[in-house]
Structure 1
Amino acid sequence: MKFFEVVPSDLFSPLASPNRALYADALDVLYTAYRENLKIPEDTLYSMLRSKLEQQLADATFEGEDIDVEELRDISGRARFLIRKLCSKGWFEKERGDDFEEYITVPGYSSRILELFHQLRDDSPIRGYSYVFGTYSTLKVAHESGSVYDKMAAIYGAYDNTQALINLLQMVYHNVRHYFQMQIEMQDVNEVLASHFNNFGQKVVEAYIRPLKIKDSVPKYRVPIQSVLKNWAEDDDLLLAMANAALQDKRGETLDSCRADLLRKIFWIDERYDNIEHDYLDEIDAQVRRYTRAATQKVENLTNRDQNVRGNLNVLLTALSRNHRASDLVDQIQPVFQLYEQSYLSEKSLWYRKRPGKRTKAAPVIIQETPPDADAAAQAAQLLRSEYGRAAIAAYVQGWLGDSDVRYSKDLKIQDDKSYIMSLLAVLASGDPTAKHQIRELDGTFSENGYSIPQMQIIRKEKKK
């Protein structure tokens, strides 16, 4: 279908007239009324035109326009003329409501063009987009859902998000090229710096490139997206069910065409995420690096070429900064510039990190080993063999058990340090395969005579005959 078969042939004629700036502002007022009202009374549009374009309407001459003398007389008549003019060219239509009032209706082609005009006038970067994360979350939710319709709709949604992402990347790439051309025409250092940090830094880097690296990262979500799509593409029964859902949703004429369309979109998304880093992100990064390097060189060239007082001061201050004790240079320029040396205290002025000295080899230190105390060793061995030896522990446990095969913590009668120590050693000795008892720990603790031991069960391994 041809373009002027969709839109009226005279649609853009007001924007080619001498009063095109006025008509452009009037279309922006029409867009505001369209966004703020579901039903737009003609009187509402008329009031908005009068209040927002009062000065423009007063200054307009309307030479060559088919405006009546009565309409040209005052601002109200000129606002009525704008409404009549835009309506006749197809920007909106009129209809009479049940209350016999005139209402404005905006056709679909007009609403899209008005939206584009508003975006161009606004010139604000897109913020908060999440095409990659939106694709990932849509596919993840649909994959975990049991609904076939959700899976089918998720494929179409992922396809639309991927297309929007590609369009965004293309726009960013060409936008960087646009800043290259703007920089060529700049001949002032401040202008170059303002363009780089304010315009490029905010409208390109912060708005688009930074989110692509952090929030809406392709490498972060690429593998999960491709895994879900591959899983669905390999499931023939699921594909057939999704094709049926797409056919019922009027997304295709036949079942085979719906199935082919789903597979085509799956493969297209998968291929795009395979190549998007190499074909788009790497190219954008290289373009940004070239632009940044060119901006830096532009600033250096403009600064070095500047031969006025500012340029001379820059050369002098650069030379002084390289030599803190350039007394001869200071003496030479002192008659022209009253320069004074200044210093300041910082957090590092009163303290310096101690640097370790160089290690030198010293004479080896001879360590004399003292012979062990024979009496202490003999006393320890005697204690281990007699009072706290294995035989003593076994006898102590036998005394606890007596004629019973099972005893508990409450039956041990912990009265002194020795009995407390024996209870601990009995627990340790129970792990020995040669031990004749077994201890099973229970929940809680048992206290008696100021001593606390775990609740436990002492069991004889061999029953008494």
Structure 2
Amino acid sequence: MNLFDIVGSDFFKALTGKYQNIFMDCLEIIYSTYRTELSYGVDREIIIAQLTNYFEQSSSDDIQFEEEQDVFRDARSKANEFLRKLKGYGWIEYEFDNSGCAKIIMPNHSISVLQTCIAISEQNEMEYQSEVSAIFSLLTNENLLDRPYSQVIKPVYDRTIVLFTELKKLNTSIRKYIDELTDGQTPEELMEHFFSYNENIGSKAYHRMKTNDNISRFRNTIENRLREILADEQVMQRAIAGYQIIEGENDKIDAHNCVIGIITSIIDYFNSYDEIEQEIVKKHSKYLRSAVNRAKLAFLNTNNLEGKLATVLRNLVTAFENEAENGVFQDVPDDYCRIFNMFPQSFISGESLKTIGINKRIDEVEEIFSAPILSEEELKKRRDMLKKKNEHRFSKSKITEYVMLLLKDRSEIDAAEISINSKRDMIRLIFICIYGRDKRSSFIIIPKDNRISSKGFTFKDFTIKKRVK
């Protein structure tokens, strides 16, 4: 059936145009009003009072729709007009009781669409543990096999679809954060994305998937129980009969094939879990590497060669962008061209395909060059330089040593207590945050909601605690 045969051709007009946010607020008010009712129906005057209160508090401007000449200024007239529009678009309907009082009801399709919109805006994360535990419990409960299709197979299939849909959404969320990171970001924005990622993705769904909510712990039992159902003739006969009753299938052979297809689909979903998990882990690692590399690039020391080159390139990009915005962008100046004229350029021609001639002239072998032996003083100097360079590396052992020195006899410390006096201090704080999420690390981090600003750097605070073995 066509979607618009159900919802009507004007249904989505409420979600477009300049008043789309007001329409959505009104729908949420109507929907929330139903929570204390026994059904999705409530007196029209109660809804009008709720919407009037909304428009009084919002102090919105005058309302005038494009296709109409009327202008609505007071709150009650706005409430009545938006209610009329929602009825015309098909979001609500009127129902009259025996006393003639009008009740406002929401059709099934309106409730479904609105619930989806609310779920998208709230961005609630699934607790994978609850879903996989429910699937495990349904399959291991022998008392439910008297009606296997309605009590086991169908609910397990529905929950499996929801579970793996959420896993795919997690995969997409990680990719979204990676895409944001690849855009040109200032150091402050880079830090914002990094801590936002760890709070919204890295420290929640990803780490639950790898620890408490690890589906692999239940997968073997789930797959074995499904195969046992397939192999049990009596259970399968009851499942086929249940499928015919619930799904309205008269042909027993078709019902048999559908039941087998549903069970094998569930098994296939759990078989594909390793592939989904590997892709999520790979993207998660890719994000962390990108964050660290970009942090290093953003905070490059301008006194070394890499820092100077980065500064030159950033200035050139800024100059080009300014010229383009002012409409005077022309050929690149000769001074800029000379900067990049490091190597001579050649081009491919027809003669490029010729075979290179072999030089038959035999030259005398040059005397073998022997490198000069370094003096003890020079050797010691180079060793000291190498040692100093290694001391400045942010290796896991050095970060762990630094954290243990901070904690000393304490069990925990907030990041806000750590002095941030330079870019190097900020990068070290990032590495503490990264290494603290490794389950093999000697310490853990716990994100907090408050923001810390110090020496021009802004980041979300977190607590560092010693890991209890």
**1:168: which partner in 2?**
166
> Cα distance 1:67–1:236, how it changes in 2: closer, same or farther (>3 A)?
farther
Match of residue 284, structure 1, among 280, 304, 322 = 280
Asked if the contact 1:125/1:203 (under 8 Å) is kept, the reply is no
> Cα distance 1:24–1:305, how it changes in 2: closer, same or farther (>3 A)?
farther
Structure 2 distance, partners of 1:208, 1:102, is 46
Computing the radius of gyration over CA atoms, which structure comes out larger, 1 or 2? 1
Asked if the contact 1:93/1:106 (under 8 Å) is kept, the reply is yes
Higher mean Cα deviation, 253-262 or 292-301? 253-262
**2:183: which partner in 1?**
185
> Cα distance 1:275–1:16, how it changes in 2: closer, same or farther (>3 A)?
closer
The amino acid of 2:284's aligned partner reads: V
Asked if the contact 2:62/2:73 (under 8 Å) is kept, the reply is no
Trace 1:307-322 onto structure 2 (pairs within 5 A).
none
Q: Tell me the secondary structure at the aligned position of residue 300 of structure 2.
A: helix
Structure 2 distance, partners of 1:208, 1:347, is 32
> Cα distance 1:27–1:209, how it changes in 2: closer, same or farther (>3 A)?
same
Structure 2 distance, partners of 1:300, 1:34, is 53
The amino acid of 2:134's aligned partner reads: G
**1:46: which partner in 2?**
48
Gaps of 5+ in 2: 309-384, 390-404, 411-469
> Cα distance 1:77–1:159, how it changes in 2: closer, same or farther (>3 A)?
same
> Cα distance 1:21–1:186, how it changes in 2: closer, same or farther (>3 A)?
farther
Trace 1:22-421 onto structure 2 (pairs within 5 A).
22-37=22-37, 38=39, 39-56=41-58, 58-66=60-68, 68=70, 72-127=72-127, 130-141=130-141, 144-145=142-143, 147-150=145-148, 152-185=150-183, 187-197=185-195, 199-278=196-275, 280-304=276-300
Asked if the contact 2:43/2:101 (under 8 Å) is kept, the reply is yes
Asked if the contact 2:11/2:90 (under 8 Å) is kept, the reply is yes
Q: Tell me the secondary structure at the aligned position of residue 265 of structure 2.
A: helix
> Cα distance 1:115–1:345, how it changes in 2: closer, same or farther (>3 A)?
closer
Structure 2 distance, partners of 1:163, 1:345, is 46
The amino acid of 1:211's aligned partner reads: R
Q: Deviations over 1:157-212 (max 9, x none)?
A: 11111111221121111111111122233523233223222x32232234422232
Report the alpha carbon displacement of residue 262 of structure 1 after superposing the two structures with TM: 1.4
Structure 1 distance, partners of 2:156, 2:102, is 42
Structure 2 distance, partners of 1:64, 1:105, is 27
Asked if the contact 1:50/1:75 (under 8 Å) is kept, the reply is yes
Identity %: 20
Aligned residue pairs total: 314
Report the alpha carbon displacement of residue 10 of structure 1 after superposing the two structures with TM: 0.7
Report the alpha carbon displacement of residue 128 of structure 1 after superposing the two structures with TM: 6.4
Report the alpha carbon displacement of residue 67 of structure 1 after superposing the two structures with TM: 6.3
Structure 1 distance, partners of 2:149, 2:4, is 38
> Cα distance 1:127–1:289, how it changes in 2: closer, same or farther (>3 A)?
same
Structure 1 distance, partners of 2:56, 2:49, is 10
User: What TM-score do you get using the length of structure 2 for normalisation?
Assistant: 0.61
Report the alpha carbon displacement of residue 270 of structure 1 after superposing the two structures with TM: 1.5
> Cα distance 1:148–1:276, how it changes in 2: closer, same or farther (>3 A)?
same
Please list every run of at least 4 consecutive aligned residues from structure 1 whose deviation after the TM superposition is greater than 6 angstroms: none
Q: Deviations over 1:88-124 (max 9, x none)?
A: 1111101112332211111111111111221222234
The amino acid of 1:90's aligned partner reads: G
Higher mean Cα deviation, 21-30 or 146-155? 146-155
**2:399: which partner in 1?**
none
Gaps of 5+ in 1: 313-318, 324-342, 349-465
Q: Tell me the secondary structure at the aligned position of residue 94 of structure 1.
A: strand
Q: Deviations over 1:187-246 (max 9, x none)?
A: 23233223222x322322344222322333221011111111111111223211221233
Report the alpha carbon displacement of residue 147 of structure 1 after superposing the two structures with TM: 4.1
**2:376: which partner in 1?**
none
**1:11: which partner in 2?**
11
The amino acid of 2:300's aligned partner reads: N
User: What TM-score do you get using the length of structure 1 for normalisation?
Assistant: 0.61
Asked if the contact 1:218/1:277 (under 8 Å) is kept, the reply is no
> Cα distance 1:151–1:253, how it changes in 2: closer, same or farther (>3 A)?
closer
**1:456: which partner in 2?**
none
> Cα distance 1:65–1:151, how it changes in 2: closer, same or farther (>3 A)?
closer
The amino acid of 2:210's aligned partner reads: K
Report the alpha carbon displacement of residue 78 of structure 1 after superposing the two structures with TM: 1.1
- Structure number with higher relative contact order (C-alpha < 8 Å, ≥ 6 residues apart): 2
Asked if the contact 1:132/1:217 (under 8 Å) is kept, the reply is no
Q: Tell me the secondary structure at the aligned position of residue 222 of structure 2.
A: helix
Structure 1 distance, partners of 2:95, 2:302, is 65
> Cα distance 1:260–1:294, how it changes in 2: closer, same or farther (>3 A)?
same
Report the alpha carbon displacement of residue 253 of structure 1 after superposing the two structures with TM: 2.6
> Cα distance 1:118–1:306, how it changes in 2: closer, same or farther (>3 A)?
farther
Asked if the contact 1:124/1:203 (under 8 Å) is kept, the reply is no
Structure 1 distance, partners of 2:300, 2:168, is 36
Structure 2 distance, partners of 1:305, 1:12, is 54
Root-mean-square deviation (CA), in Å?
A: 3.1
The amino acid of 1:261's aligned partner reads: C
Asked if the contact 1:34/1:106 (under 8 Å) is kept, the reply is no
Q: Tell me the secondary structure at the aligned position of residue 58 of structure 1.
A: coil
> Cα distance 1:305–1:48, how it changes in 2: closer, same or farther (>3 A)?
farther
Q: Tell me the secondary structure at the aligned position of residue 147 of structure 2.
A: helix
Q: Tell me the secondary structure at the aligned position of residue 103 of structure 2.
A: strand
Report the alpha carbon displacement of residue 300 of structure 1 after superposing the two structures with TM: 1.6
The amino acid of 2:161's aligned partner reads: Q
